[in-house]
Amino acid sequence: MRRDIGTDDPRVKVRAGKSSRPRTKVRPDWSREPLARVIGVDRGRYTLRLEESEVRVFAVRAKELRRGSVIMGDLVRATGDLSGRHDTLARIVAVEERASVLRRSLEDAPDAKGEKAIVANAEIMCIVVALADPPPRTGMIDRCLVAAYEAGLEPLLCLTKADLASPDGLLDAYSPFGLRTIVTRSDAPGEGLEDLRGALKDRFSVLVGHSGVGKSTLINALVPDANRAVGHVNEVTGRGRHTSTSSQAFELPEGGWIVDTPGVRSFGLGHVEVSDVLGVFPEVDEATRFCLPLCSHAAEEPSCAIDAWIRGDAPCAAADPAESARRSALAASVRRLLEAVATAEASAKAAR
């Protein structure tokens, strides 16, 4: 038979009560520490350029900052040894708010664990595409465009190796977007470079593209002392070999910075939504407001309002033949980007 035991019974052990003091930690104020930009990332080590003195220092991430919290292009607060000597290390203690973040999903994974931040605070994404050796892949271009639009970056299309194939097909395919496009040749190294220099001057830009398309070659031409390794395309696979294994930013002689990233084989869009794409094209976005719920906006949708907008039917604004042709070209291009997002969503669902 059970008998009641009071707390005054010697057999009862009473645990000490929890302290009523709040478990708060006074975090240090790092806002007065020197401001620096991350211009190099390599296996947990960072190269910083101090904003005031322009001294370059090597640094590690403070243990209070989680892994992956510091990326290329970040504006950070640094403390410790800021002399810039090779045998010293500074410490990154805080990351400033980012103006933009260019991201790609790994294998179209929808969660944060499958997402990779490439560069922060960039203004221009220079999409480098070889016209041959390796052959161009429009799917990759479309995905890069979507990622640029989602991040708020200005996309710039740079077509290389025009001596091996004509650029006309790609120029026509992407003309509806109004992209700034620059064409270079392998047999005439200077052709197109002045236009590229002018586009990148005084801007913080990032180069993106497959391995072997000529990113490192462009960097070496834009920054004579960059000395980036240049690789070749595998004749069997048609793919380039990775020559850049780390992200590095180079200061342009004319002003501005250009980031060379390792070549990518895919550019996942698991983090992008349809609204991110439509928001870049107000005309098309306005037309989709008349669509039925769950409309995919694909060309095969029988009641998609984009088709009424192309024809100039009510309730959309009227269109003469020339305007209708312009709308048709733009709609086809936007639908191609939406298809890239839909494919990414389908891949993400299949992986769950």
User: What share of residues in the chain are helix, strand, coil (percent, to 5)?
Assistant: 25, 20, 50
| SS3 state of residue 179 | coil
Q: H or E stretch including 196?
A: helix 193-200
Q: Is 213 annotated as a binding residue?
A: yes
- C-alpha–C-alpha distance, residues 284 and 291, integer Å: 11
> Among residues 30, 39, 27, which one has the least CA distance to residue 92?
30
The tally of CA atoms less than 13 A away on the side-chain side of residue 266 is: 14
Confirm if 324 and 306 have CB atoms less than 8 A apart.
no
Confirm if 91 and 28 have CB atoms less than 8 A apart.
no
Q: Is 162 annotated as a binding residue?
A: yes
Output the 3-class SS for 10-46.
Answer: CCCCCCCCCCCCCCCCCCCCCCCCCEEEEEEEECCEE
Task: Phi first, then psi: give them for residue 150, nearest 5 degrees.
Answer: -65, -35
Q: Is 86 annotated as a binding residue?
A: no
In sign, the C-alpha dihedral spanning 275, 276, 277, 282 is positive
- C-alpha–C-alpha distance, residues 317 and 291, integer Å: 15
Q: Is 79 annotated as a binding residue?
A: no
How many residues are listed for the chain in this entry? 352
Q: Is 73 annotated as a binding residue?
A: no
Confirm if 62 and 56 have CB atoms less than 8 A apart.
no
Q: Is 160 annotated as a binding residue?
A: yes
Strand 204-208, strand 124-130: pairing:
parallel
Q: E-assigned strands of the chain?
A: 35-42, 45-50, 56-61, 75-80, 90-95, 101-105, 115-120, 124-130, 154-160, 180-183, 204-208, 247-251, 257-260
Q: Is 210 annotated as a binding residue?
A: yes
Q: Is 6 annotated as a binding residue?
A: no
Q: Is 47 annotated as a binding residue?
A: no
| Binding-site annotation, residues | 160-163, 209-217
| Binding-site annotation, residues for GTP | 160-163, 209-217
